[in-house]
Amino acid sequence: MIARLIVQTLLSLIAMGVLLFGAAGTPAWPAAWLYLLEIGVAGVWVGLWLARVDPDLLEQRMRPFISREQSQWDRVFMSIVLIGMGAWLVLIGVDAVRSGWSRVPLWASVVGAIAVFVVFPLTREVYRANHFATPIVKVQYERGHKVVDSGPYAIVRHPMYGAAILYFIGTPLMLGSWWGLACAPLLTAALGYRAVREERTLAEGLPGYREYLLRVRYRFVPGVW
């Protein structure tokens, strides 16, 4: 399982590198190398921790994001997301390096790097609290699915999506693209759509989830939404 984790991480990093450096038109982009190193090391760190405390969840997390187990709407959504994320990385590469449209100050890039890093310990807390935090939207009857309302789930309904907002903000800042940052609201809105559809699915099939929706008011950010 550890070998599979490392291989999948490397393949993901290679794919992202191809998009970023291909769009930039040069491998001479230090910020992108640091970005890939950061998310690679942090991702393996979380994966190794999960392999120790909840190997079943790690196994679930390493499965494809698109499968027959999903409803049709989620398969379509995830397909669009994968394409959209790729296009986002290409835009960042073109903006930050090839065309040089943006001029992001160093302090903002540092803030972006910090934001990207924070995503990983936040995600680890999600995994610690929720044994059912798989990439697929469905009621996991075969795994004894139950409502989770502890840890970050006592604060917001979708803490992992909330952490993803930091990723959407931190990535373009670290890589130096204002145009990439301008896409953050659109990416967040897409997560919002999935969160609403996910809640409908769980409310229909997971006992106690409707009551959870009444107890925890906010989806992503306390006091906002």
Q: Are 201 and 140 in contact (CB under 8 A)?
A: no
Whether residue 170 is predicted with pLDDT greater than 80 in this model: the reply is yes
What does pTM read for this prediction?
A: 0.92
What per-residue confidence (pLDDT) applies to 25? 96
What per-residue confidence (pLDDT) applies to 62? 87
- How many CB atoms sit inside 10 A of residue 26's CB? 11
Q: What's the mean pLDDT in 147-154?
A: 94
Alpha carbons 63 and 68: distance in angstroms, whole number: 12
What per-residue confidence (pLDDT) applies to 23? 97
Buried b (16+ CB within 10 A) or exposed e, 144-171: ebebbbeebbeebbbbbbbbbbbbbbbb
Give the closest residue to 93 by CA, choosing from 35, 133, 37: 35
What per-residue confidence (pLDDT) applies to 68? 78
Confidence of residue 99 (pLDDT cuts 50, 70, 90): very high
> How does pLDDT run across 6-64, given as a tens digit for each residue?
999 999 999 999 999 999 999 999 999 999 999 999 999 999 999 999 999 999 898 87
> How does pLDDT run across 69-87, given as a tens digit for each residue?
778 888 899 999 999 999 9
Q: Domains of the chain, with CATH numbers?
A: 2-215 (1.20.120.1630)
Encoded tokens for 18: 């191809």
